[in-house]
């Protein structure tokens, strides 16, 4: 009888040990799930401007990097904008964003670039009335050469760079030249705004929600020579069936004329309508670009990014050109094997030609 009591007691002790161990494991796993991520430092240049003012609250709210990613914002602008920049900092503090772990507002490029994980280069010199193209290019070459040097010296080794300021592709190329330690694949420019504009035009035309349209492409330069391409795009129609956009619209003339020019000239149309440039949509697109780059694109979906050409689709290496890309684990890859018809080939080559001309002009400014 006593032996049975001992055995029973041993079983109870083993059971209690197992329950305690199991509970500790559950608590540990819950702790891992609730463990806060280390903050990422995000630089926004031109932060007191229109796009910057729209962009920084989106970053602070988690739109760019996700609802569980704390951020430290570094905001840079020129000396005449210092007071306005400080006003933006005050508003960020007043908004009490839970994810915002710190704000630096400065006119010192070295301070702004210190420890930066992600750099969104919004600041640039805009073209003013009466200015020659080379004058604008020369101003921006100087700006991006200096900022590249600061990123090279002070940013985190794995810093991801998105250039928004125009001419975005060529500004990104200059930045790449003067920040050689930043990997080529970590320097990109924004064509996601054009990509989103193309999605919007298709959804409006077909009267479907924009989320039902995917895989448009912006080829080339973020300029009026860009080529919005729907040859590989698809849409979920109102009856729930997936169709190619070309079949759903069934109007090649519209797709090859009005659709293209509307997307190409959308920025100018917005300036004409509101007497100011696209700020809200550009800021939103910048968030989309970085979010997909860092967190990954949806399976079966690609997006458009201005990236350093590797010769894909016959595009000359050595320029920053917009391609269709997929993203996974913080890396982008150009979508390969898409068929290019004669109409597309001409458009793709025309925008590449413009980028080669811009590159030559930029290098002449350097020399």
Convert 50-110 into a string of H (helix), E (strand) and C (coil). Answer: HHHHHHHHHHHHCCCCCCCCCEEEEEECCHHHHHHHHHHHHHHHHHCCCCEEEEEEECCHH
pLDDT at 34: 54
Please check the confidence at residue 223 and state whether its pLDDT lies above 90: yes
pLDDT, averaged across the chain? 93
Q: Is 184 annotated as a binding residue?
A: no
Q: Is 51 annotated as a binding residue?
A: yes
Domain ranges of the chain: 40-189, 192-365
Question: Region 90-115: what's the mean pLDDT?
Answer: 98
Q: Is 197 annotated as a binding residue?
A: yes
Class of domain 192-365: alpha beta
Contact 48, 17 (CB under 8 A): no
Please check the confidence at residue 14 and state whether its pLDDT lies above 90: no
Give the alpha-carbon dihedral of 56, 59, 63, 68, to 10 degrees.
-150
Q: Is 362 annotated as a binding residue?
A: no
Q: Alpha-carbon distance 325 to 305, whole Å?
A: 7
Which of these is catalytic: 74, 195, 222, 232? 222
Q: What is the pLDDT of residues 228-281, one digit of tens each?
A: 999 999 999 888 889 999 999 999 999 999 999 999 999 999 999 999 889 999
Share of the chain above pLDDT 90, in %: 84
Which has the closest alpha carbon to 74: 137, 120, 29, 32?
Answer: 120
Respond yes or no: is residue 222 known to be catalytic. yes
Rounded to 5 degrees, what angle do the CA atoms 70, 75, 81 make?
A: 155
Q: Is 48 annotated as a binding residue?
A: yes
Q: At what angle do helices 168-178 and 342-366 cross, to 10 degrees?
A: 50
Q: At what angle do helices 133-154 and 342-366 cross, to 10 degrees?
A: 80
Q: Is 95 annotated as a binding residue?
A: no
Q: What is the pLDDT of residues 138-172, one digit of tens each?
A: 999 999 999 999 999 999 999 999 999 999 999 99
Of residues 21 and 303, which shows the higher confidence score?
303
pLDDT at 65: 98
Cis peptide before 75 (omega within 30 of 0): no
Contact 324, 302 (CB under 8 A): yes
Which has the closest alpha carbon to 52: 165, 185, 201?
Answer: 165
Q: Which CATH superfamily is domain 40-189 in?
A: NAD(P)-binding Rossmann-like Domain (3.40.50.720)
For the chain, give the number of residues. Answer: 367
Q: Is 194 annotated as a binding residue?
A: no
Q: Which of 34-43, 85-94, 191-200, 226-235 has the lowest mean pLDDT?
A: 34-43
Question: Region 88-92: what's the mean pLDDT?
Answer: 98
Q: Is 71 annotated as a binding residue?
A: no
pLDDT at 27: 61
pLDDT at 213: 98
pLDDT at 51: 97
Q: At what angle do helices 82-95 and 50-61 cross, to 10 degrees?
A: 30
């Amino acid at each position: 009888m006593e032996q049975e009591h001992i055995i029973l007691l041993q079983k109870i002790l083993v059971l209690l040990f197992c329950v305690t161990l199991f509970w500790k494991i559950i608590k540990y796993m819950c702790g891992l799930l609730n463990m806060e991520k280390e903050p990422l430092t995000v630089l926004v240049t031109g932060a007191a401007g229109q796009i910057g003012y729209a962009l920084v609250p989106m970053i602070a709210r988690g739109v760019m990097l996700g609802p569980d990613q704390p951020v430290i914002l570094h905001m840079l602008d020129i000396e005449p904008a210092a007071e306005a920049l400080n006003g933006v900092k005050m508003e960020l503090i007043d908004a009490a964003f839970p994810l915002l772990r710190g704000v630096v507002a400065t006119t010192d490029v070295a301070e702004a670039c210190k420890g930066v994980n992600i750099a969104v280069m919004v600041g640039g010199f805009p073209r003013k009335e009466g200015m020659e193209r080379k004058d604008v290019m020369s101003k921006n070459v100087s700006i991006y050469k200096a900022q590249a040097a600061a990123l090279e010296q002070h940013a985190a080794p794995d810093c991801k760079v998105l250039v928004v300021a125009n001419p975005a592709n060529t500004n990104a190329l200059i930045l790449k030249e003067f920040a050689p330690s930043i990997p080529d694949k970590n320097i990109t420019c924004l064509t996601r705004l054009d990509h989103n504009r193309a999605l919007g035009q298709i959804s409006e035309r077909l009267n479907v929600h924009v989320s039902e349209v995917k895989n448009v492409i912006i080829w080339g330069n973020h300029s009026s020579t860009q080529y919005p391409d729907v040859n590989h795009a698809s849409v979920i129609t109102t009856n729930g069936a997936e169709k190619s956009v070309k079949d759903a619209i069934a109007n090649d003339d519209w797709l090859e004329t009005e659709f293209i020019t509307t997307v190409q000239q959308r920025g100018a149309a917005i300036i004409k309508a509101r007497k100011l440039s696209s700020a809200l949509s550009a800021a939103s697109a910048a968030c989309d670009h970085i979010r997909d780059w860092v967190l990954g694109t949806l399976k079966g979906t690609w997006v458009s990014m201005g990236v350093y050409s590797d010769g894909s689709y016959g595009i000359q290496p050595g320029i920053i050109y917009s391609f269709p890309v997929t993203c996974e684990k913080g890396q982008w890859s150009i979508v390969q094997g898409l068929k290019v018809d004669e109409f597309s080939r001409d458009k793709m080559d025309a925008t590449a030609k413009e980028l080669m001309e811009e590159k030559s002009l930029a290098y002449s400014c350097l020399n």
